[in-house]
Amino acid sequence: MALLSEDLYSKLAILGGDPLFKSPIHVGRPTIRNREQFLIRVNEILNRGWLTNNGPYVQEFERKAADYLDVRNFVAMCNGTTALEIAIRALGMHGEVVVPSFTFVATAHALQWQGIKPVFCDIDPRTHNLDPNEVRRRLSTRTTGIIGVHLWGRPCAIEELSQVALDHNQRLLFDASHAFGSSYRGRRVGGFGDAEVFSFHATKFLNTFEGGAVVTNNDDLAAAMRLMRNFGFSGFDNVVSLGINGKMSEVEAAMGLSNLADIDAVIEQNRDTYCRYRAALTGIPGLEVIAYDDNEDSNFQYVVCEIDSEATGILRDDIVEILHAEGVMARRYFYPGVHRMAPYRAEYSDSSRHLPGTEQLCQRVLCLPGGTAVDATEVDQISEIVRMVLRNGRTISNELRALRHEG
């Protein structure tokens, strides 16, 4: 398929042209590797008849993932949200917990679901992660913990947040859902804070269909969470604590093992995709592709742009609409901010005044399909659409306004 013409923006689907892609290209298309090995493992699961309840593949996945992350304890769970909930409960968080609003809603839900008030804190607009100075301002006598999110796989200001937690006797948990394979000052993400939580949802860098884990170097905490994920059972009929069903199944672990075995090749493919986008989109006024630290490891799963609408002459939301019409399902993560979502906006109506960085970023971020979701040709085609739209931003914006007015 040929690239779009340099100057004929009228070929855009939203202006009456044909969509560039007949099948939608999504942000977060599942990565599936080692299909043959996975199917071999599935047959072994069926032959054994051991489908769940801490089976041999779950145990193997926990060992190999712990080795990869260089941590003492890797507690596999049925999904990342349950892993967050169990970690929060095991750490004894209650009352209020400081958390970013610029995150996936599950980070806050895991607190609110358990009757804990999320106190939304602003991010550093340069990093998109929690601002430690703002965290200090949001602490109160009711605060019992801090949850940082390693957004886009770029680690939080871990040392600064650790100091805040130490100074104020707070539990420190990291939502590392984006960050499997990333590093902070030469150490793999996973061993920081009291614990870190990973998601292995189908769209994540490492997926187990559904799945998650809590990782910690605290043996007592890990033991408590192993009880909690299995109804509090210690042995066959001895319930020693409160718990729920948070176990990972054998087929999920089989998927995790198959993908983990090929993780370096996936990272390399992700890096190539990211670098191709970055090369194609660098130098466009009003557009910035967020950078990853060359001195650290990253999984390069996310291709994240910031759009300055004043410089481009077109709103980020209009760009999203244009891309969707072409079959490019770009996302405006994490719009509109958790504090503006229905479960929270009434109770937290004053949150916006504490969150100027979050409010601004929610209007600027544009995520393009990355990772293994796209090949080199598709990256070039998507980049060409973006370049053409931004070169003609004000003209296209006027065209869209006229079309809406006529409609």
Whether 218 and 318 share a structural domain: no
In a domain, 322, yes or no: yes
Which DSSP letter does residue 222 get?
Answer: H
Terminal Cα distance for the chain, rounded: 32
The stretch 223-243 carries a mean pLDDT of 95
Q: What region, left, alpha or beta, does residue 337 occupy, with left being phi > 0 and alpha being psi -120 to 50 degrees? A: left
Pairing verdict, β 303-307 and 287-289:
antiparallel
Whether 234 and 274 share a structural domain: no
Report d(CA 201, CA 96) in Å as an integer.
27
In a domain, 131, yes or no: yes
The stretch 166-187 carries a mean pLDDT of 98
Q: What is the pLDDT of residues 97-150, one digit of tens each?
A: 999 999 999 999 999 999 999 999 999 999 999 999 999 999 999 999 999 999
In a domain, 21, yes or no: yes
Domain around 189: 35-260
Pairing verdict, β 171-175 and 183-184:
unpaired
Whether 108 and 251 share a structural domain: yes
The stretch 250-272 carries a mean pLDDT of 97
In a domain, 208, yes or no: yes
pTM value?
A: 0.95
pLDDT at res. 15: 87
Q: What is the pLDDT of residues 84-112, one digit of tens each?
A: 999 999 999 999 999 999 999 999 999 99
Whether 41 and 82 share a structural domain: yes
pLDDT at res. 1: 37
The pLDDT of residue 369 is above 50: yes
pLDDT at res. 52: 97
Radius of gyration of the chain (CA): 22
Share of the chain above pLDDT 90, in %: 89
pLDDT at res. 4: 47
Whether 212 and 65 share a structural domain: yes
Whether 50 and 189 share a structural domain: yes
Whether 68 and 198 share a structural domain: yes
Q: Which of 210, 239, 260 is the last residue of a domain?
A: 260
Q: Which of 260, 275, 309 is the last residue of a domain?
A: 260
User: What's 91's domain CATH number?
Assistant: 3.40.640.10
Assess contact for 148 and 129: CB atoms under 8 A: yes
The pLDDT of residue 9 is above 90: no
In a domain, 76, yes or no: yes
Report d(CA 261, CA 235) in Å as an integer.
32
Whether 167 and 25 share a structural domain: no
Share of the chain above pLDDT 70, in %: 97
Which DSSP letter does residue 9 get?
Answer: G
Whether 229 and 106 share a structural domain: yes
In a domain, 163, yes or no: yes
User: What's 303's domain CATH number?
Assistant: 3.90.1150.10
**Which segments within 223-316 are labelled E, that is strand?**
287-289, 303-307
How many H helices and E strands in the chain?
Answer: 15, 14
In a domain, 138, yes or no: yes
Q: Which of 239, 198, 188, 186 is nearest to 61 (CA)?
A: 198
Report d(CA 260, CA 299) in Å as an integer.
13
Whether 135 and 219 share a structural domain: yes
How many structural domains does the chain have? 2
The helix/strand/coil state of 140 is: coil
3-state helix, strand, coil in the chain (%, to 5): 45, 15, 40
Whether 235 and 289 share a structural domain: no
Q: Which of 260, 285, 317 is the last residue of a domain?
A: 260
Report d(CA 357, CA 223) in Å as an integer.
39
In a domain, 354, yes or no: no
Whether 74 and 166 share a structural domain: yes
pLDDT band at 38; cut points 50, 70, 90: very high
